[in-house]
Amino acid sequence: MSNVTVAELAATNLVIVAGKGGVGKTTVTAVLARAAADAGRRVLVIELDGKRTLDELVPDLEVRHLSAAELLEEYLFEHGFKRIAKRLASTGVIDVIGTAAPGIDDLVVLGKIKQLERTGQWDLIVVDGPAAGHAITFLSAAAGLLDAVRSGPVRDQATDVAEMLGDPDRCQVVLVTLPETTPVNELIETSYAIEERVGVRLAPVVVNQVDGATNLPDPTTVSFGRALVQVDDAVAAATFRRERVAAQQAELRRLEADLPIRQLHLAARPTAHLAPSDIAALADGLAP
Amino acid sequence: MTPSRLNTVVGGAQVLVCCGSGGVGKTTTAAVIGIEAARRGRRVVVVTIDPARRLADALGLPDGLSGDPQRVPIDIGGDGELWAMMLDTPAMFERVVRAHAADDEQADRIVANRFYQNIAGALSGTQEYMASEALHELHGDDRFDLVVVDTPPSRNALDFLEAPGVLSRFLDHTAFKLLMMPTRTGMRMLSIATQPLLRAIGRVVGSDVLADAVAFFQAFAGMDIGFRERAEEVTALLHDEATRFVLVCSPQRDTVSEAVWFAGQLQEQGFEVAATVVNRLLPHFGDGTVTDASNRAETARERGDDDQAALWANLAELRLIAGAERDQLRPLAERVGEQVLIEVPRLPSDVHDIAALELLGAHLFHESEPGG
């Protein structure tokens, strides 16, 4: 990983990785955590949504799993529900509260993250953010509750979380995309939405699975001599790859033109299943 | 090439549910299935959640889709028709409320309530619930004889199957029964004050927010039975023989595991996976092996022919990935059976025109050649 990137990550306590489903958010979380840990930082990785992928990708790093449902129960237990806490789920209290104050489940997760950030136990906390289109909702939970709830513990929590999100020395958001038309469009829309609605600082965006074969020769100009067998296959493969690389490069240029934020590229790995060694290689090679 | 399993499915089904994790090309697959079914003379409506601009463009709908079905202006030929709509969750929810309300006044009171708006906009599972309502509504619409639904990108694909009961289950809890207690003048506030449960809720979310909730349940009184019956109808439609499930995934380990798990769940609950579509598989480029190509790369390199070496090395690399992708599919093939697995190759660039959709259609409806 380039020193610039390590310095950028070191400048904040918390990085929340966000992006649509399928773009490789978890991979990017692992790579950023790996890179920071390799540079000697004390790193905590946080995984949401009950997935367990990061334990496999960065087996030697500390990974914590946060569940909104459990944290909400814990929160309610501490805020006046002690006697009836056991019945919270079966009586539907959690559902009433979640619906009366939408975003409270996201807020308790962010509240927990804020609490971990405040301990100062880690130089960098990397959060594998929520999946799909949930990222903006997740990040705007505090702002939404500040509008809706006028007093009480929820408001205090929302104030603290909003303060953390608004301070680039404490928190930044890394958006992830793929070098393809639709993911790039979505990244651009999400960037503006996050800036407008949340006011959190965007760190460099990460483009995942960038094909680095930009120098593959044009197969029509290459002589194969006497070789005949499988030559057609080699030509077809090169044509396919060159077309894909050209399409990706066009998307990267468009992203650069439409979104004035620095891009970091992660190379596509020749595998359908990433192993810790792939994460280490990607962390080493992360280049702007 | 022999026809794929999807051919029989689009011929006979009345409802097709496309499910799978996010980012695997579900919406595109739903659109391609819709086009092909329309070509076979069916009157098809495709319901999508959040179609990408490019897909709308490719379908000749540059202004995007709306919450009402609109005719897709591409050449179908014959008697078939293709329609498409985007799920508008709040609008759909309002329609369902109005259908169950005793009169406009009751519906207006509910729709204006903030607690209701939170349910329609943010209650977990609401989008899936409304997708299932849309499915039911369109199934009963005489204009169409096939409804293709692209399910929301849930964390859990099973959410869709449980969606019809979301509101009923929500209303079944003790907390709601308390909130829905018969209200004589003055009794309501008394009950909030005397119920420790409600007092505690009020302390966390604030009393005005709780008052909204109480007002919602008062306005909603009497409608819950209608909602429950409707949920049962929708559930019955999902279990109907004319409803078929198409599982969509891409050849990465995590989306394949999700598909395997979901296929198992469907089978356990008595649903049959009619077809499983694996999108974006890298082509294998011929019958040769990785070693064939890497040996040639090595030989060319020794000769000092770097350009030729680069092309052989590229062939070796793409074959390696193609092989790794097919290895990932093995557990899925074991679960659903080889014959229902349909492989769709990765195109060098995004689907952005009708020609690309046609190409995908050709792969979806014909089995690809072995290793091809």
Candidates B349, B351, B352, B359, partner chain A, best to mutate (most A CBs within 10 A): B349
Kindly list the residues from chain B whose CB atom is less than 8 angstroms away from the CB atom of residue A238. 311, 314-315
CA distance B139 to B9: 16
Closest CB to A181 among B54, B200, B314: B54
Q: Residue B112: which residues within 8 A CB-CB, separation 6 or more?
A: none
Q: Give the residues across from A64 on adjacent strands.
A: A46
Residue-level pLDDT at B285: 95
- pLDDT-wise least confident of A185-189, A284-288, B135-139, B303-307: A284-288
Q: Name the average pLDDT for chain B.
A: 86
What domains are defined for chain B? 6-180+221-286+322-365 (3.40.50.300), 290-321 (no CATH)
Contact in structure between A89 and A68 (CB atoms under 8 Å): no
Q: What mean pLDDT comes out for the span B32-46?
A: 95
- Mean pLDDT in residue range B207-214: 81
pLDDT tens digit string along B3-26? Answer: 788 998 898 899 999 988 877 888
Query: Quick check: B328 and A227 CB within 8 A?
Result: no
pLDDT of residue A10: 67
What pLDDT score was predicted for residue A80? Answer: 73
Sites in chain A below the pLDDT cut of 70 = 1-10, 83-86, 131-133, 287-288
Closest A-chain CA to B325: A272
pLDDT at B1: 56
For B78-89, the pLDDT digits (tens) are 899 999 999 998
Residues of chain A with Cβ-Cβ distance to B173 below 8 Å are: 90-93, 95-96
3-state secondary structure of B16: strand
- Residue B353 phi, psi dihedral angles, 5° rounding: -145, 175
CA distances from B316 to A238, A244, B178, B296 (A): 11, 17, 67, 9
Neighboring chain A residues of B350 at a CB cutoff of 8 Å: 180-182, 247
- The total of other beta-carbon atoms located within 10 Å of residue B184's CB is 8
- Whether residue B301 lies within 8 A of chain A, CB to CB, comes out as no
Q: Minimum mean pLDDT among B187-196, B298-307, B350-359: which range?
A: B187-196
CB-based burial label for B62 (10 Å; 0-12, 13-18, 19+): exposed
Any idea what DSSP says for residue B68?
S
Give the number of other CB atoms < 10 A from CB of residue B98.
15
**Closest Cβ opposite residue B315 in set A131, A180, A237:** A237
In A, which residues are within 8 Å of B281 by CB distance? none
Residues 6+ apart with CB under 8 A from A74: A108
d(C-alpha A234, C-alpha A141), whole Å? 52
| Of residues B200, B311, B318, nearest to A222 (C-beta) | B311
Check B315 against A148: CB less than 8 A apart.
Answer: no
State residue B302's pLDDT score.
Answer: 96
Does the beta carbon of B210 lie under 8 angstroms from any beta carbon of chain A? Answer: yes
The domain made up of A3-285 has a fold known as Rossmann fold (3.40.50)
Mean pLDDT score, B80-99:
93
Residues of chain B contacting A273 with CB distance shorter than 8 Å: 252-253, 324, 328
Residue A251: name the closest of A201, A205, A215 by CA: A205
- Going from N- to C-terminal start, the domains of chain A cover 3-285
For B246, the token pair is 């198409």
Kindly state whether B221 is in contact with chain A, defined as any CB-CB distance less than 8 angstroms.
no
pLDDT number for residue B162: 83
Cα separation of B30 and B45, whole Å? 10
Residues of B (346-365) whose Cβ lies below 8 Å from A: 348-350, 352
Residues of chain B neighbouring A237 (CB-CB closer than 8 A): 285, 311, 314-315, 318-319
Of all residues in chain B, the percent with pLDDT exceeding 70 is 92
> Cα–Cα distance between B107 and B99 in angstroms, integer?
9
CB contact under 8 A, B253 and A104: no
Q: Do B250 and A236 touch (CB under 8 A)?
A: no
Contacts of B128 in chain A (CB under 8 A): none
pTM given for the model: 0.88
- What string of DSSP letters covers B84-129? EEE--HHHHHHHHHHHHSSSHHHHHHHHH-HHHHHHHHHSTTHHHH
Residue of A100, A234, A237 with shortest CB distance to B115: A100
Mutate which of B314, B317, B327, B353 to disrupt the A interface (most A C-beta within 10 Å)? B314
Cα separation, A139 vs A137, in Å, equals: 6
Give B201-210 pLDDT, tens digit per residue.
787 877 777 8
**How wide is the angle at C-alpha B24 spanned by C-alphas B21 and B29, nearest 5°?**
110
Q: Tell me which chain A residue has its CA closest to the CA of residue B153.
A: A132
Write out chain B residues lying below 8 Å of A228, CB-based: none
Q: How confident is the model at residue B49 (pLDDT cuts 50, 70, 90)?
A: confident
Angle at B246 between CA B245 and CA B250, to 5 degrees: 145
Half-sphere exposure of B267 (CA within 13 A, CB side): 13
ipTM of the complex: 0.87
CA-based nearest distance B36→chain A, Å: 24
Our CA-based measurement puts residue B27 at a distance from the nearest CA of chain A, in whole angstroms, of 12
On chain B, the residues whose CB falls within 8 A of the CB of A180 are: 349-350
Distance from CA of A4 to the nearest CA of B (A): 31
Does B302 contact A at CB distance below 8 Å? Answer: no
Gap from A154 CA to chain B (nearest CA, Å) = 6
CB-CB under 8 Å, A272 with B324: yes
More confident residue, B42 or A6: B42
Contacts of A103 in chain B (CB under 8 A): 122
Q: According to the model, what pLDDT value does residue B85 have? A: 94
